[in-house]
Structure formats: structure tokens, C-alpha cells
């Protein structure tokens, strides 16, 4: 075999000039990663030398140069025409006999002695493709389910021609590549029968935030082209790398996608896209074991290459085996500085029109322009919000004109998502209602500032932008921590300067993700409201045990936040709904009773051991146990709110132990909220039960001053700076320090008021937790307070 065709067995990553980025990576993986247990389908590459021989034998180089010289480089008005003419020249060329013979010989060798004419995938691999900073994603052609020598040679020639697709010509021009310097290698690889199973994409990094400790896996039924093209909303799985490495349960979250189409191989060659059955739309394409295997492989691939990777996987429906069919460098976060961040926040409210997966964190506004084909590009004006169903590489020039992109289909690994990230543009994908709710010419605001879900509002709303540079930032000695509720924001917030999460609010997850009263799941068969029974059945679809629905959803949310800040502490406050708030959950009215003053009623610790909620608390405990024991996220601590007496505290700690959450085991710490005067007055007794305190300044102020914190009439009296409140805070800090217990405070005051921050630090508090929008101001106040306190102490010493 000469240098016209090379087997994967002899290709390495340094062979990009010979076989292009895609084939060099496949050969490298086949050689180096197969011994590590990663399955890579075998294959061979038609080299750049083979492509250049094809051009030489057909005398095409000069003709191609002449066609390119006519290209309108200002407006690219004749791009399609130039592309069509060059491709026609190549498609009518003849593959030289020597090259054809090598291709056919290698093809038949792939099948082994017992198989003639194996089914193969034929993929383009340009010599400037899959490089960090230039992905060339989807610009050249791939052909699946190719069978037979003549069909293979035809597919190879079509790959050669795809080097001059209009989108590829434009991309090379924009990136500064010389057209004739780049050659097209062709990879021929044994076909994985994913048409009978599933396939998809995984990133060894979170593609939105750049969080390095997770693997994002997406999948659909059938061939993965539907994901890449954005034709479906895929399933999405998030895996935590440290848990995999510890041999623990590593799946942080699982989200089922609609997967409305399934692409399969046609009996006549090629592919056909069919409607997916309702049953399969609702089913996950991978089981937990397969998800974790892909997570393990992604880590091995990333470690081998020494950089985050964008990987394509496929499952063979005949053998049941998983395979990796492509891997390339992740191109978006390669050059990003994690210490430079932009923060966006809406300062006006508007009507929510639609939502989907957020790509890029930011806010923009513009006029809606609904377009269904790249041929309508002239209708799009610079800065318009492009709204369409799906995009493919033909859309790239159109997308570059858009102020933002909204697609009704696709997921976070679709073409629209990848290109938007690479361009630094905002996009919302999988916004299923966009075509029904958005009208041509309508001005809208696209908000991707608050996590994984992007939202589109009517009108041009006002927003603010803040730029942060964390280079050289020194954190205060007192720990700055987050108050956090939404797991979708956790990965982004992990890049801010912090020492963990001082308060994770469970109520947000129960309200927004679970929505069902836990006792309604425990006692589902006894529910009196049949409409609520039907709604619960719908929400719990796929869970044979409805209690598992609550445990699974809650553990995913807790696990995601714990993973985002791992190994820093994440302190989870167990549920602190009031009875009126619990009643608003689905099925809640049957298990709650009317209280005159829920704020000081049946809440916090008192619920956990009471027969009205004891079995519901067991579900909360099961979620915590899963995160700590099964996922291995031992940085998770728990905190008990509204614990009125030491006896109540002992009772709750005992119940936690009964549920498998044992204080001191694997570093488990149990804290108590200091938010009732009794917590301060009896701080000595509480310190004998709990590992630390967290001062809840709102409730402590309310109950010390006898002021309803929700009362507008009494709002002037609600003041954390009141001497009585400050005495309470000072006293509980004093006792905690004397007893060697940790103590922090969760609240707004230290960020709003520098003197309050100075007061807390002077008392010797260990940590202060802030809402995300107040963290940086809080840190500034803490540093200022520590400096002033140090100066004050030095002056006292000198005197």
C-alpha cells in the first residue's frame, strides 16, 4: 500500500497534513484508545496525496483557480454559482486507476474473509479541519450506508467535490485559509448500525459555561445526523467526572427530549427520516450503564488529547455495543479566559413569548425575521433576530448577519448551537412555540442571562451589562459563599470568586421541577382530587414508583449544585415551606391545614418528625443520601431550619440517622439555622447537637423585634442594624467561637451595608453568604471591613 490510501491502524494525530483532522483523530484513537477499551470502528483514509493526484490527472487546479477568481468577495453574490461550477468539474472527473484500485482493495479488506462489500460510512476530512479555533463543523459532506465498490468510488468523488461547497468556500475566506492549499482526505469506516438503536454527541466540557468537570451527552433514536442538523430535540445527560473517577454513580441529570424523527438506512442505499413513535419519544435512548460508559470514554479521550473534546457516539442495534465514531477539539472555550466574565441582567419586565435552550450567556433585542431557507437571506437585515425551524451549514452566511438565532428544533449540540457559540452569537434552540408566538417585524428581547433556559420577551426591554476581571483578586479571610436555588445557574456561577454555597434553598427545586407535594406521592392512591391524580400520573411518567420521581428530581438538582462547587462545601437547607406554600403544590391541599400565621406555624424541624410530614421528609433524606453516598459528593452538608428547641434538634438528628444520614460519617456535618431567639439564648445547648450555625437574619430580625417581615406598614421597623438584633447575632457568634463551631450568615445586609459587614467580621464570623447578584459587592465590603478592622487593631496596639 502506498501513500494514496492509509489504514487507520497506521494513522496518528500528527498526520493531519496527510489525512485531515477528522481522519488523523480517528486513526489516533483506533491505535491508542482501542487498548483502553474504547470501541472505534476500523477503516482507512484516502489521503491528501490521493486527492491531489485526482486533481492532477484531471487537470483541475487551474480551472478551479479561474472559477475562484470570479468570486464576489464583497457580497458573495455569486457564491452559489462559483461553487456549482467547481463541484461540477470535480464530479465529472475520473478517479485515477491506481487510486481506485487502492480504495477497492482496502474496502474489501475491511470486511474480512467472510464478508464482501461491507456497509461503510464515507466522511470528508479536510487538512484544515477540526483544529482548535476552526471546527469547519458540517461544511463538507458525509455519506452513510454506502455498499459496493462503485457506490464507494462515487461517494469518494462527492466528498472531494464538497471541499467547494459554498459554505466551505465562505468559511475558508473568513478564516484566512488558502483554498488551493487545503486538500480533502476521505475516511471510509465500517458502518455502526445506529439506525437500529441510537446515536449522538458528547462534550467532555459543559459547552455553555465551559465548566470542565462535567460531560454533556445528547442522544436520539437512529442516526445522529438529526442531532447535528438540529432536526430533533435530543435526550440530554450530564455526568460528573470526579464521581466517575471514584467509581460512584456519576449521572447528575437526565432530560428526555421529544426526538420526533428517527433517521434509518434505506433499503436502496442512503437514509430516510421517519416519525418516531410516541412511546419511543418518551423513552431515554441510553440506560444508566451506557451513559456512564460514554462518560468514562469521554474522560479517556480528553486525557489522551490533553484538551476538551467534541465526540460523536453510536450504538449498534445488532450487537448492542457502543462505539466512538468521531472526536475533535472543542473550539469555543479553547481561547477563553475564565477570569474575564460579563454579567447581564434585565431591569425591565415583559410578556414571555417562548423559551428554549440558551446558547451563549447574554441579552439582546431586535426585529423578528422568520425565514425558512437560506435562499431568503436577502430578507434578513443586519441585527435581525433570525427565527427558523433548523439550520445546516448552508445557513452559516445568513447566521452571521443575525443579531441572534432562534430555532424551534435542535438541542445544545445541534449545528445552530455549535455555530452560534463559535461566532459568539446568542441563540435559543428547541424553542418549540417560536413560530406560533413570534411575528415578522415584531421587536423582541432575547434573554440568556439566567441559566440553561433562554427566554424571549415582547418589546425592547432595558438591561444592564457588567464586566468582571478576576485576575489577581484576593478573597477575604472570611469566606464569601453563595445563596443559591437554581441548579441551572450553578456551573456559570462556579467561575465567580467564592468558597462554596452557604445556603442551597430546596424549595425552588420542589416548586419548579417537582411541583408535587411529597405526601401526595407517598399517598397517591388515597388522593381525593382525581384531576390532580391524572396530572401527577403525567408528571411521573416513566417512574414505576412515584416516590422515586421526587427522589430522582431532587437528587439531580442537589447533585448538580454540589458538583458545580466540588470540593467546596454546599450546605443544603432541608425544606422550609410554610403550610400555605406547601398547600399550593399539586395534591397539597389534602395534606395541609389553614393556619392564622404560617410564618411561625407548622414549618421547619417541627414537620420532619410529625406524622403529617414524616414520610415526606424521608424522601428528602433519600435524595441527600443518594447525592452523598451514591454520587460520592461528600462536600454536601445539611442544615435544619426553624428548630425551636434543643429537644427538637436531637429528634431530627436521630431521624436523619434512621434515614441513613449519620452525623460525622464521611465528613457529614449537620448545621442549624440560628433564626429564632431560642437558638441564641440556648446556643450552648444547640452547639452540643449541631456542627455549626447559619444565622438567618430575616427571621431573627422578625422574631427579635416582633415585626412581620412581609408587612409594608411595619417595614421601617424591620432593621437588622437594630441593637437588639445585633446583640443576638453577636451573642450566637460568641458562643459558636467559644465552642469551636462554624458559624455563618445568609442575607442581603452585608452587601448593602459596609458597616454591617464590618460588624460581622469584627465579631469573628466564619462565612457570609450572598445572593449571586450581591456576591461581588459583598466581597468588596468584606475586604474593606477586614482592612479597617486590622487597622483599628494596630492602632489599639500602638496606644
Which among 159, 220, 354, 415 is annotated as catalytic? 415
Chain length of the chain: 799
**CA quadruple 105, 118, 217, 627: dihedral sign:** negative
CA–CA separation, 366 vs 386, rounded Å?
9
CA–CA separation, 488 vs 510, rounded Å?
14
CA 398 to chain centre: 26
CA–CA separation, 646 vs 689, rounded Å?
8
Contact indicator for 701, 750 with CB cutoff of 8 Å? no
- Strands, sheet with 309-315, edge to edge from the N-terminal-most edge strand: 251-255, 235-240, 214-221, 198-203, 309-315, 322-329
| Pairing verdict, β 742-746 and 692-696 | parallel
Cell numbers representing residue 124 in the block: 470528508
HSE (CB half, 13 Å, CA atoms) of 101? 5
Residue 653 CB-density burial (10 A; 0-12 exposed, 13-18 middle, 19+ buried): buried
Contact indicator for 154, 120 with CB cutoff of 8 Å? no
CA distances from 152 to 105, 117, 216, 249, 395 (A): 12, 10, 34, 44, 28
Phi and psi (nearest 5°) for 216? -100, 125
Phi and psi (nearest 5°) for 120? -135, 160
Residue 739 CB-density burial (10 A; 0-12 exposed, 13-18 middle, 19+ buried): middle
Q: What is the DSSP letter of 514?
A: I
Cell numbers representing residue 143 in the block: 455519506
| Pairing verdict, β 352-359 and 426-429 | antiparallel
| Pairing verdict, β 404-407 and 142-146 | unpaired
Closest CA to 643 of 633, 655, 661, 634: 655
Closest CA to 421 of 445, 448, 383: 448
Closest CA to 402 of 432, 360, 462, 450: 360
Contact indicator for 294, 215 with CB cutoff of 8 Å? yes
Closest CA to 389 of 246, 233, 522, 529: 233
Contact indicator for 406, 434 with CB cutoff of 8 Å? yes
User: Which residues are within 8 A (CB) of 495 and not within 5 positions of it... i.e. 6 or more apart?
Assistant: 209, 210, 211, 338, 341
User: In sequence order, which ranges of 342-478 are alpha helices (DSSP H)?
Assistant: 396-401, 415-423, 434-437
User: Which residues are within 8 A (CB) of 405 and not within 5 positions of it... i.e. 6 or more apart?
Assistant: 385, 386, 388, 391, 399, 416, 420, 425, 426, 427, 428
Q: Which residue matches cell numbers 449522538?
A: 200
Q: List, in sequence order, every residue forming a beta bridge with 43; answer none if it has no partner.
A: 189
Cell numbers representing residue 442 in the block: 415584531
Phi and psi (nearest 5°) for 668? -70, 125
Phi and psi (nearest 5°) for 208? -85, -55
Task: Check if 610 is active-site.
Answer: no
Task: Check if 746 is active-site.
Answer: yes
CA–CA separation, 44 vs 34, rounded Å?
16
| Pairing verdict, β 120-126 and 142-146 | antiparallel
User: In sequence order, which ranges of 567-691 are alpha helices (DSSP H)?
Assistant: 579-583, 605-608, 614-625, 646-658, 677-681, 683-687
| Pairing verdict, β 43-46 and 198-203 | unpaired
Catalytic (active-site) positions: 415, 746
Amino acid at each position: 500500500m502506498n501513500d494514496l490510501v492509509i489504514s487507520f491502524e497506521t494513522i496518528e494525530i500528527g498526520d493531519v497534513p496527510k489525512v485531515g483532522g477528522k481522519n488523523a483523530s480517528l486513526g489516533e484513537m483506533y491505535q491508542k484508545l482501542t487498548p483502553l477499551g474504547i470501541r472505534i470502528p476500523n477503516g482507512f483514509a484516502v489521503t491528501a496525496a490521493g486527492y491531489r493526484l485526482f486533481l492532477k490527472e484531471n487537470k483541475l487546479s487551474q480551472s478551479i483557480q479561474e472559477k475562484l477568481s470570479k468570486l464576489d468577495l464583497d457580497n458573495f453574490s455569486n457564491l452559489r454559482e462559483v461553487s456549482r461550477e467547481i463541484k461540477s468539474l470535480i464530479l465529472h472527473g475520473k478517479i485515477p486507476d491506481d487510486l481506485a484500485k487502492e480504495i477497492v482493495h482496502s474496502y474489501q479488506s475491511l470486511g474480512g474473509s467472510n464478508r464482501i462489500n461491507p456497509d461503510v460510512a464515507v466522511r470528508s476530512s479536510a487538512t484544515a479541519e477540526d483544529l482548535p479555533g476552526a471546527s469547519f463543523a458540517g461544511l463538507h459532506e458525509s455519506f452513510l450506508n454506502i455498499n459496493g465498490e462503485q457506490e464507494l468510488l462515487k461517494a469518494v468523488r462527492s466528498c472531494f467535490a464538497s471541499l467547494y461547497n459554498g459554505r466551505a468556500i465562505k468559511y475558508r475566506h473568513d478564516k484566512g485559509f488558502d483554498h488551493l492549499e487545503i486538500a480533502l482526505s476521505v475516511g471510509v469506516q465500517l458502518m455502526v448500525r445506529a439506525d437500529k438503536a441510537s446515536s449522538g454527541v458528547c462534550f467532555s466540557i459543559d459547552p455553555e459555561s465551559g465548566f470542565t468537570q462535567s460531560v454533556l451527552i445528547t442522544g436520539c433514536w437512529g442516526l445522529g445526523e438529526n442531532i447535528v442538523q438540529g432536526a430533533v430535540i435530543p435526550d440530554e445527560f450530564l455526568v460528573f467526572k470526579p464521581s466517575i473517577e471514584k467509581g460512584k454513580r456519576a449521572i447528575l441529570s437526565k432530560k428526555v427530549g421529544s426526538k420526533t424523527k428517527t433517521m434509518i438506512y434505506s433499503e436502496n442505499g442512503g437514509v430516510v427520516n421517519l416519525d418516531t413513535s410516541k412511546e419511543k419519544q418518551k423513552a431515554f435512548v441510553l440506560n444508566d450503564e451506557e451513559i456512564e460508559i460514554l462518560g468514562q470514554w469521554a474522560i479517556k479521550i480528553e486525557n489522551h488529547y490533553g484538551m476538551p473534546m467534541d465526540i460523536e457516539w453510536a450504538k449498534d442495534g445488532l450487537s448492542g455495543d457502543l462505539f466512538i465514531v468521531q472526536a475533535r477539539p472543542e473550539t469555543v472555550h479553547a481561547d477563553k479566559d475564565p477570569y474575564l466574565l460579563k454579567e447581564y441582567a434585565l431591569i425591565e419586565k415583559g410578556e414571555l413569548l417562548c423559551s428554549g435552550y440558551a446558547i451563549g450567556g447574554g441579552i439582546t433585542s431586535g426585529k423578528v425575521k422568520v425565514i425558512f431557507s437560506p435562499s431568503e437571506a436577502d430578507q434578513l437585515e443586519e441585527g435581525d433576530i433570525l427565527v427558523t425551524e433548523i439550520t445546516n451549514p448552508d445557513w452559516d452566511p445568513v447566521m452571521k448577519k443575525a443579531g441572534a438565532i432562534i430555532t424551534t428544533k435542535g438541542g445544545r449540540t445541534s449545528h445552530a448551537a455549535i455555530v452560534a457559540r463559535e461566532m459568539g452569537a446568542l441563540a435559543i434552540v428547541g424553542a418549540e412555540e417560536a413560530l406560533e408566538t413570534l411575528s415578522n417585524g415584531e421587536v423582541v428581547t432575547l434573554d440568556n442571562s439566567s441559566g440553561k433556559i433562554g427566554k424571549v420577551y415582547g418589546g425592547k426591554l432595558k438591561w444592564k451589562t457588567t464586566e468582571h476581571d478576576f485576575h489577581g483578586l484576593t478573597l477575604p479571610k472570611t469566606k464569601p459563599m453563595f445563596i443559591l436555588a437554581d441548579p441551572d445557574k450553578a456551573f456559570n456561577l462556579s467561575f465567580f470568586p467564592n468558597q462554596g454555597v452557604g445556603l442551597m434553598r430546596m424549595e425552588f427545586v420542589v416548586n419548579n421541577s417537582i411541583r408535587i407535594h411529597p405526601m401526595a406521592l407517598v399517598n397517591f392512591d388515597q388522593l381525593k382530587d382525581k384531576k390532580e391524580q391524572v396530572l401527577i400520573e403525567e408528571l411521573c411518567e416513566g417512574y414505576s414508583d412515584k416516590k422515586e420521581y421526587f427522589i430522582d428530581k431532587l437528587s439531580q438538582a442537589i447533585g448538580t449544585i454540589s458538583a458545580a462547587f466540588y470540593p467546596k462545601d454546599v450546605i443544603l437547607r432541608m425544606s422550609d415551606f410554610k403550610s400555605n406554600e406547601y398547600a399550593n403544590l399539586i395534591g397539597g391541599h389534602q395534606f395541609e391545614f389553614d393556619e392564622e400565621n404560617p410564618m411561625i406555624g407548622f414549618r421547619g424541624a417541627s414537620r420532619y418528625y410529625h406524622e403529617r410530614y414524616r414520610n415526606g421528609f424521608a424522601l428528602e433524606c433519600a435524595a441527600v443520601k443518594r447525592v452523598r453516598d451514591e454520587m460520592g459528593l461528600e462536600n454536601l452538608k445539611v442544615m435544619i431550619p426553624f428548630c425551636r428547641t434543643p429537644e427538637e434538634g436531637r429528634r431530627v438528628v436521630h431521624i436523619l440517622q434512621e434515614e441513613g444520614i449519620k452525623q460525622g460519617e464521611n465528613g457529614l456535618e449537620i448545621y442549624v439555622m440560628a433564626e429564632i431567639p431560642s437558638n441564641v439564648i440556648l446556643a450552648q445547648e444547640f452547639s452540643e447537637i449541631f456542627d455549626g450555625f447559619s444565622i438567618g437574619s430575616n427571621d431573627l430580625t422578625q422574631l427579635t423585634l416582633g415585626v412581620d417581615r412581609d408587612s409594608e406598614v411595619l417595614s421601617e421597623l424591620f432593621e437588622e442594624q437594630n441593637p437588639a438584633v445585633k446583640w443576638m447575632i453577636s451573642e450566637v457568634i460568641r458562643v459558636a467561637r467559644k465552642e469551636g463551631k462554624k458559624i455563618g450568615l445568609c442575607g442581603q445586609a452585608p452587601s448593602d451595608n459596609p458597616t454591617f459587614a464590618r460588624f460581622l467580621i469584627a465579631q469573628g464570623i466564619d462565612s457570609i453568604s450572598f445572593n449571586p447578584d450581591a456576591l461581588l459587592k459583598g466581597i468588596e465590603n468584606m475586604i474593606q471591613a477586614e482592612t479597617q478592622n486590622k487597622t483599628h487593631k494596630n492602632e489599639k496596639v500602638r496606644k
